[in-house]
Amino acid sequence: MTGRRTDKNRKPARPWKIRLNLAVTVLVLCLGPIMIGAGSFMINADEELARTGARATGTIVHFDDVTKASQRRIRVDFTTPDGSAHRTFAAVDHDQHPVVGTDVPVIYAEDDPGRAIVPGYESGGEWFRGAGVVLTALFGGIGTLAVVLMGVGALRGFLRRRATRRVG
């Protein structure tokens, strides 16, 4: 005889495993919206910095021209009016081709020159928000499909039980 033995009772699921599965599921479903919120917050902070920050001229000192979009970055060194040197990084889109040694504008927070942006180049918030949208669409689609399939299964079971009662 092949197959699973049916004469023994199956062990009940452990409560901690059920809770762990539920916690992981909730975390995965919430990850995308959390990333969207964090990315939007970062973008808004950069926009506020662009409106209120101090301006300086920086020089592109390094450019990683790689094929993976999330790793295409420039490093820009700039000097504040007090003479201290600082650097910032910015993401580079595939249609942009910066040249090392080129001067670019930099906007920085006067109270924290380490917080700076390079206008015309992306900040980390755009990538973060985009990844959140992708995760939300992916896991939200899978979750919706699972709920629909479980609903169809429950409806079929209900209809079978109802049909069996009528026959008997």
Digit-coded pLDDT (tens) for 17-39 = 888 888 888 888 889 999 999 99
Instruction: Name the token pair of 118.
Output: 């390079």
**Pairing relationship of beta strands 73-79 and 54-64 according to DSSP bridges:** antiparallel
> Which residue in 35, 51, 127, 33 sits closest to 89, CA to CA?
127
Digit-coded pLDDT (tens) for 37-63 = 999 999 999 999 999 999 999 999 998
Q: What is the C-alpha separation between 28 and 61, in angstroms, rounded? A: 39
Residue 76's alpha-carbon distances to 33, 88, 101, 126, 150, in angstroms, are 32, 5, 9, 19, 53
Residue 168 predicted with pLDDT over 60: no
Do 35 and 129 touch, CB atoms closer than 8 A?
yes
Summary mean pLDDT of the chain: 85
pTM, rounded to two decimals: 0.68
**Residue 143: pLDDT band with limits 50, 70, 90:** confident
